[in-house]
Structure 1
Amino acid sequence: MLKNKFLKSVSLCALALSSIAYANSDVDYGISSPQINAQTYILMDYNSGAVLASLNPDQRQYPASLTKMMTSYVVGDALRTGKIKNNDLVTITESSWGQKFPGSSKMFLNLNQQVSVDDLNRGIIVVSGNDACVAIAEHLSGSQQAFIDTMNKYVQQFGLKNTHFATVHGLDDPNQYSSARDMAIIGTHLIRDLPEEYKIYAEKEFTFNKIKQPNRNGLLWDKTMNVDGMKTGHTDKAGYNLVASAYNSNTRLISVVMGVESIKGREIESKKLLQWGFASFETVKPLAAGQTVSEQSVYYGDLNKIQLGTLQDSYITVPKGKTGELKARYVLEKKTLEAPLAKGQIVGKVVYQLNDKDIASIDLQVMQDVAEAGFIGKAWDWVVLTIKGLFN
């Protein structure tokens, strides 16, 4: 964790009316990124959300089987909440029969066969089975369309701007599209929200009906990196796509390449991005959960002072070797804090600078509830603020 010396550089003179948010913008760190042969790509720090390199990251593309990451999310969330169980049995219907998907990836389901949710889930994640997607969608939601509607609800919930799903499996549809940035965000949610579901993405093979199939993510076998996911995709219109995630001692990165020309190419380009990212950046935790950044006066409340900080561990991405050069300041959204205030309420930002350039920010939160004061307390604070206003 970064030492408190960075917070000591936070100055009261930095207080101003402001509502800046760098987390949703791409920062130029001044480090040249590698040449990547893809129609669109992105490299994102999982913990901080910082975009380290990108090309056309919001360009809409055919996602192909990357779609199954959202299918997997819906299934994983249903398992987490107990809506379905891994040992539930699903009867394979005409629509999910393996023969309905000639020439495409499948787990080779047989008509009227009973298959566990656990096997179907691995059929989706490990071997990219289109038949498995249909089977589990009908089992969970009653129909493919109802399942697709749930997928698109998560699109809205995640704030994805360039994604819409029209199938459960990813075969090309003119109304189905996503972007490199949105796919990286879906990957982030899988890792963070559904750790048990994400573990399956590291499995290298799956055998069903005595047919052994390898995971199509060749980077899982790469011994130079710790890759533990995520998903491949390919159609004639989409080209070759790959979402990959790898980690080292203090950093996890997510890369997305879309529209690459070959299977090997998507692995080569993804590896370039990941290796460059690990060589060039590191993730640091400047603020730990519960850490106080500042104590501020509060008006019209049952407390006169309140602590501001963060309720969760917070991370930023820094060029390798530059952590010691970071500077920080805090910025409040309003000049004065007024009750009522709720624990966790965002009232400003801690802004981090490198070489006099803002590179990241972390939300500044109220650390405890502040209720409104009584009539006399409010009247007194009104007088205090009125007098202060005369001298400002």
Structure 2
Amino acid sequence: MRHVKVARALAAVGFVWSAISLPFGWPQAAQAQNFQTSAPTAILIDAGSHAVLFEKNADELTAPASMAKTMTAEVVFNEIKSGRLNFDNEFMISENAWRKGGGGSGGSSMFAKVNTPVRLEDLLRGLIIQSGNDAAIAIAEGVAGTEDNFARMMNERAKQIGLSQSTFRNATGYGHPDQKVTVRDLSKLALHIIETYPDLYKMFGEREFTWNKIRQQNRNPLLFMDIGADGLKTGNIDESGFGLMGSAVQNDQRLIVVVNGLKTAKDRANEARKLLDWGFRAFETQQLFAEGQVVGEAQVFGGNKRSLPLVSRKPVRVLVPRGESERVTARIVYTGPLKAPVQKGAEVARLQVNRGDMQALDMPLYADEDVQEGTLSQRALDGLLEFSTGWVRRAFTSVIEGI
């Protein structure tokens, strides 16, 4: 284990480094501040650091209801970003889509007319704003031929973006015994959409949409509260209870909340808002390193330099409970020594920041300089060191001191 001396950089941000750690983990921190929620399953994350601020049964499998439409939207967003679809594509409202998801079906609908073509842009708004089941089925059939084929696309994309515990069986969120998600996965999905499709994500914040001369408001109650909310989606079926995926921004900080299993629409709105209000109030951001500031170094093998400075492409910030002094540690992890040549800007390591036993941040670090292949004598010296000391490529952990 090698030590990178950057204690002064860490101390400069005002952390109190103590040999005695408070019992800090995100759930324990929430309990210590007496925060409780009646939601059976819930999670609150900070979008900037990806840190979990609160969780309750976050890995319990539950039915997503119409929150599954967020996965439907992600598949379409990905097709648009890849150039395979565009807003002007038209999909037919089949009799199947009309009967299962139209106005007479008893569920939410955009009230599209049977056997008529509808532009994809309008179908997306019908899906996201009005939670239209007819829109969801029409999209699925238009993209993949059948809803079953589209569900397979949903599961493939879910795996690709890291939703490890969730399974989708339809585009609408209608009840199915095998269609299950976790609130942790839904929070990952929300964060992925916000970060990957910032322009398309704006649809989730539109408050109303009119189609077929019927004006409907967005079903997300957070949008109509003065809390900076701009997304995402609600859901409710008998198997799930009332659920909500939400996101809000205050003072340049974005939080994402997911709750599920509430008894009423009012309960889900209240509990989601309580979590967001608490998150914005109870935590504050501390900056560890500025954008482009050298965080540490990595060893290099066979190069014209023996070490390489590492930087982050954005400020390194973590959330800490307001008024509390917590033990914070950080480490640089990479497989090394790095083998020359190394190009400036290459991702070569990761910075992991912990508060107590809970990981608060995990982000990439990049080479701040070019490292050319060394001279014959330099390579020979490194080879001799490898032979004599066992200095082989392995997982390195560089501990950033300052505890």
Q: TM-score range by the shorter chain?
A: 0.7 to 0.9
CA–CA distance in structure 2, aligned partners of residues 65 and 34 of structure 1: 28
Query: What residue in structure 2 maps to residue 46 of structure 1?
Result: 47
Q: What's the secondary structure of 2:271's corresponding residue?
A: helix
Change (3 A) 1:334 1:81: closer
CA–CA distance in structure 1, aligned partners of residues 311 and 265 of structure 2: 47
Of 106, 115, 118, which aligns to 1:115?
118
Q: What's the secondary structure of 1:97's corresponding residue?
A: helix
CA–CA distance in structure 2, aligned partners of residues 87 and 322 of structure 1: 53
Deviation at 1:111, TM superposition (A): 1.1
CA–CA distance in structure 2, aligned partners of residues 176 and 370 of structure 1: 50
Which amino acid letter does the alignment assign opposite residue 44 of structure 2?
A: L
User: Does the Cα contact within 8 Å between 1:33 and 1:276 map onto a contact in 2?
Assistant: no
Deviation at 1:74, TM superposition (A): 1.2
What does 1:74-223 align with in structure 2 at a 5 Å threshold?
Answer: 74-97=75-98, 100-101=101-102, 102-223=105-226
TM-score by length of 1: 0.84
What does 1:224-263 align with in structure 2 at a 5 Å threshold?
Answer: 225-263=227-265
List per-residue Cα deviations over 1:158-210 (Å, max 9, x = no partner): 22222010001100001111011000110001111111221111111111111
Range moving further from structure 2, 261-270 or 135-144 = 135-144
Query: What residue in structure 2 maps to residue 19 of structure 1?
Result: none
Change (3 A) 1:205 1:351: closer
Deviation at 1:303, TM superposition (A): 3.1
Q: What's the secondary structure of 2:118's corresponding residue?
A: strand
Which amino acid letter does the alignment assign opposite residue 274 of structure 2?
A: K
User: Does the Cα contact within 8 Å between 2:93 and 2:134 map onto a contact in 1?
Assistant: no
Q: What's the secondary structure of 1:78's corresponding residue?
A: helix
What does 1:261-272 align with in structure 2 at a 5 Å threshold?
Answer: 261-272=263-274
Deviation at 1:310, TM superposition (A): 2.2
User: Does the Cα contact within 8 Å between 1:250 and 1:283 map onto a contact in 2?
Assistant: no
Deviation at 1:255, TM superposition (A): 0.7
CA–CA distance in structure 2, aligned partners of residues 335 and 134 of structure 1: 50
CA–CA distance in structure 1, aligned partners of residues 35 and 26 of structure 2: 17
Which amino acid letter does the alignment assign opposite residue 62 of structure 1?
A: A
List per-residue Cα deviations over 1:274-303 (Å, max 9, x = no partner): 101011013345334433222454232243
Q: CA RMSD in A?
A: 3.1
List per-residue Cα deviations over 1:85-118 (Å, max 9, x = no partner): 2122222111211565511111111111121111
Change (3 A) 1:9 1:113: same
User: Does the Cα contact within 8 Å between 1:251 and 1:282 map onto a contact in 2?
Assistant: no
- For the pair 1:319 / 2:321, whether they are aligned, the reply is yes
CA–CA distance in structure 2, aligned partners of residues 276 and 60 of structure 1: 25
Change (3 A) 1:289 1:262: same
What does 1:304-315 align with in structure 2 at a 5 Å threshold?
Answer: 304-315=306-317
CA–CA distance in structure 2, aligned partners of residues 264 and 386 of structure 1: 68
CA–CA distance in structure 1, aligned partners of residues 75 and 294 of structure 2: 37
Query: Aligned residues, how many?
Result: 371
Query: What residue in structure 2 maps to residue 286 of structure 1?
Result: 288
Query: What residue in structure 2 maps to residue 15 of structure 1?
Result: none
User: Does the Cα contact within 8 Å between 1:47 and 1:283 map onto a contact in 2?
Assistant: no
Query: What residue in structure 2 maps to residue 17 of structure 1?
Result: none
User: Does the Cα contact within 8 Å between 1:42 and 1:181 map onto a contact in 2?
Assistant: yes
List per-residue Cα deviations over 1:297-335 (Å, max 9, x = no partner): 423224333112224444422223569x77555445578
CA–CA distance in structure 1, aligned partners of residues 275 and 138 of structure 2: 35
List per-residue Cα deviations over 1:113-142 (Å, max 9, x = no partner): 121111110000001001101111221222
Q: Structure 2: give runs of 5+ residues left out of the alignment.
A: 1-5, 14-24, 392-403
Query: What residue in structure 1 maps to residue 20 of structure 2?
Result: none
Range moving further from structure 2, 39-48 or 311-320 = 311-320
Q: Structure 1: give runs of 5+ residues left out of the alignment.
A: 11-24
User: Does the Cα contact within 8 Å between 1:98 and 1:110 map onto a contact in 2?
Assistant: no
Q: What's the secondary structure of 2:251's corresponding residue?
A: coil
Change (3 A) 1:81 1:287: farther
Query: What residue in structure 1 maps to residue 397 of structure 2?
Result: none
Range moving further from structure 2, 375-384 or 112-121 = 375-384
User: Does the Cα contact within 8 Å between 1:68 and 1:125 map onto a contact in 2?
Assistant: yes
Query: What residue in structure 1 maps to residue 68 of structure 2?
Result: 67
Change (3 A) 1:332 1:95: closer
